[in-house]
Amino acid sequence: MALPLELSGVERFDVHDTPTITPRWRKWRRAFDYFLVAKGVTAAAQKKALLLHLAGPDVQDIYDTLTVADVDAHHDEYAVALAALDQYFQPKVNVPYERHLFRQLRQESQESVGQFATRLSKQAEYCDFEERKEEYIRDQIIENCKSVAMRKAFLEKHDLTLTQLLDIARAKEAAERQANVMEANPPSSAGIKTSVYATSVCAVTKNSGKRSTPVVNCTRCGRKDHGARDSQCPARDKTCRKCSKTGHFAAQCRSKAAGAQTRDAARSAQSVNMGQTTRRTFTRHNVNTVDDSAADYAFTIGQSATGDNVVDVIIGGVELKGVLIDSGASVNVIDRETWEMLKQHKIRCQQSYKSDRRIYSYAASEPLKIVGIFSAVVEVGHSAVEGKFVVIEAQGRPLLGYQTATDLGVLKTGLQLRNNVNKMI
């Protein structure tokens, strides 16, 4: 007596979606093969009956129109029926074209090496690689993986197999994830009280009173797409122009700035922002660094603003005209009015945050009111660096400090330049 057989688990095959019918038939066949093994079905006649029954009426109608080969000693009725349906649903593959598609595959930005290998394996089914399938997949991963460091690791090992390659990739990807987690929670520096709230763009909507989720930036180059331990960091082998050490850009340097020189002067100047000219009068204020752990940046304010020490720059994609260069300033400064204008023109920032840093006017007991700090790419001609800007509650000409001006190659020295900064506090 035949035992009852549970037939659930295999859906009927849809024959109407013609463009995808070949890969879908392969997937359906694979599911049916698993079903036969799981149910322990071995008789050819029963396997054929289950094939046509589970595939559905549409497949049965197609099968009835096919020319089916005769059953012989080498081909039972199930094998013959399956071969006929395979020939119908799987037209002859153009191997050169399928191999061309295989060679075009690249690892996607959010795809692991293991996932990339799976895509390659699926495409390789149509390429007739036979026993060299894993070899071709291995070569394609080495050539078209997205990580240079990963590629170097693969090439360092001789006679690398696909299995060994995948083991190396999983280990390196796991280590990278763990390193990024550690970078996201660095130990706090003693004596520095800085609350950082990074945003994807600098402009914060007026209606939003919520602080954004902290975003971890690379402490070497300032970018957001990797941690400081990433072997592909562009600053890893660069020499800092500020401290002369290797491994970070000057904009990310943590060395203490030298004490700023003081200057006494007053002047009137013209500020040009985004092509609009306004007349402003500036009051003299000399600013010194205070011996305080949070007051490690300062600038000096004087009266010279000639054509020799002003420059037009692009900050975060927005042009800003008439920015003053001062070799005596250890920070870049922008007043709030200019900052608001930059936000209206959709400035692109690397990060923006609140800060407890204090800057004091010379001989003053109260610090200047700081709105916040942002970093963005600063461009002059063909030169570009990442610079940090302190935004203060005041009006005045934007300032490029010593380090950023030096990195951009626009700082001029000599008797004609007094290293003064014009500012309205």
List the one residue out of 324, 326, 281, 313 whose CA is nearest residue 425. Answer: 281
Buried b (16+ CB within 10 A) or exposed e, 369-380: ebbbbbbbbbbb
Average pLDDT over residues 398-419: 72
* DSSP states along 52-92: HHHH-HHHHHHHHHS-PPPP-SS--HHHHHHHHHHHHHSPP
Q: What is the rounded distance in angstroms from the CA atom of residue 269 to the CA atom of residue 420?
A: 13
SS3 label, residue 227: coil
Per cent of the chain over pLDDT 70 is 72
Domain span at 340: 193-425
The string of DSSP letters for 243-257 reads T--BSS-GGG--SPP
Bridge partners (DSSP) listed for residue 362: none
Residues 61 and 116 in one domain: no
pLDDT, mean of residues 318-337 = 84
For the chain, what is the mean pLDDT? Answer: 75
What is the full DSSP assignment across 5-49?
---TT-PPPP-S-GGGHHHHHHHHHHHHHHHHHHHT---HHHHHH
Number of domains in the chain: 3
Q: For residue 214, is it within any domain?
A: yes
Of 39, 64, 89, the position where a domain reaches its end is: 89
Reference 231, options 321, 293, 153, 299; nearest CA is: 153
CA pair distance 272, 291, nearest whole angstrom:
35
263 CB neighbour count, 10 Å cutoff: 21
Give the pLDDT confidence score for residue 365 in this predicted structure: 64
Of the ranges 264-278, 362-376, 407-421, which is most confident? 362-376
Same domain, 246 and 370: yes
Query: Cβ(263)–Cβ(286) under 8 Å?
Result: yes
What local confidence, expressed as pLDDT, does residue 364 receive? 56
Residue 287 lies in a domain: yes
64 and 159 both lie in a single domain: no
CATH code of the domain containing 162: 1.10.1200
- pLDDT tens, residue by residue, 20-72: 788 788 889 889 999 999 888 889 899 999 999 999 999 999 989 988 877 77
Angle (CA) 107 111 112, round 5°: 95
Q: What is the dihedral of CA 273, 279, 281, 285, to 10 degrees?
A: 10
Q: Are residues 137 and 69 in the same domain?
A: no
**Could you give the CA distance from residue 120 to residue 129 in angstroms, rounded to a whole number?**
12
pLDDT number for residue 293 = 39
**So what's the pLDDT on residue 330?**
76
Q: What is the DSSP string of 282-310?
A: E----EE--SSTT--------S---GGGE
208-239 tens-digit pLDDT? 444 444 445 788 887 777 777 777 787 877 77
Q: Are residues 397 and 258 in the same domain?
A: yes
Domain presence at residue 250: yes
- Examine the fold and report which residue of 89, 113, 143 is the final residue of a domain before the chain moves on: 89
Position 304 in a domain: yes
Confidence check: pLDDT of 201 > 50: no
Same domain, 322 and 379: yes
Q: Which of 7-11, 140-144, 157-161, 260-264 has the lowest mean pLDDT?
A: 260-264
Asked if 318 and 342 count as a contact pair (C-beta separation under 8 A), the reply is yes
In a domain, 10, yes or no: no
Q: How many C-beta atoms lie closer than 10 Å to residue 272's C-beta?
A: 15
Q: Are 179 and 190 in contact (CB under 8 A)?
A: no
Q: How confident is the model at residue 106 (pLDDT cuts 50, 70, 90)?
A: very high
- Whether 7 maps to a domain, the answer reads no
Is there a single domain that holds both residue 69 and residue 136?
no
How far is 417 from 368, CA to CA, in rounded Å? 26
In this predicted structure, the answer to whether residue 167 has a pLDDT above a threshold of 90 is yes
Higher pLDDT, 394 or 89: 89
Q: Same structural domain for residues 295 and 385?
A: yes
Based on the fold, state whether residues 280 and 301 are members of the same structural domain: yes
Q: Are residues 169 and 25 in the same domain?
A: no
Residue 299 and residue 386 share a domain: yes
CATH number at residue 292: 2.40.70.10
> Is beta strand 267-273 parallel, antiparallel or unpaired with respect to 332-335?
unpaired
Per residue in 207-245, is it b (16+ CB within 10 Å) or e — as a string? Answer: eeeeeeeeebbbbbbbbeebbbbbeebebbeeebebeee
Q: Which of 50, 83, 41, 79 is nearest to 66 (CA)?
A: 83
Q: Does 415 reside within a domain?
A: yes
Last residue within a domain, chosen from 177, 203, 221: 177
Q: Which residue has the higher pLDDT, 188 or 198?
A: 188
pLDDT value of position 142: 95
pTM: 0.36
Q: How would you classify the pairing of strands 332-335 and 383-392?
A: parallel
Beta bridge partners of 375: 351, 388
> Which residues are registered as beta bridge partners of 314?
319, 379
Position 57 in a domain: yes
CA distance 373 to 387: 10
Asked whether 92 and 84 are in contact (CB, 8 A), the reply is: no
Do both 238 and 276 map to the same domain? Answer: yes
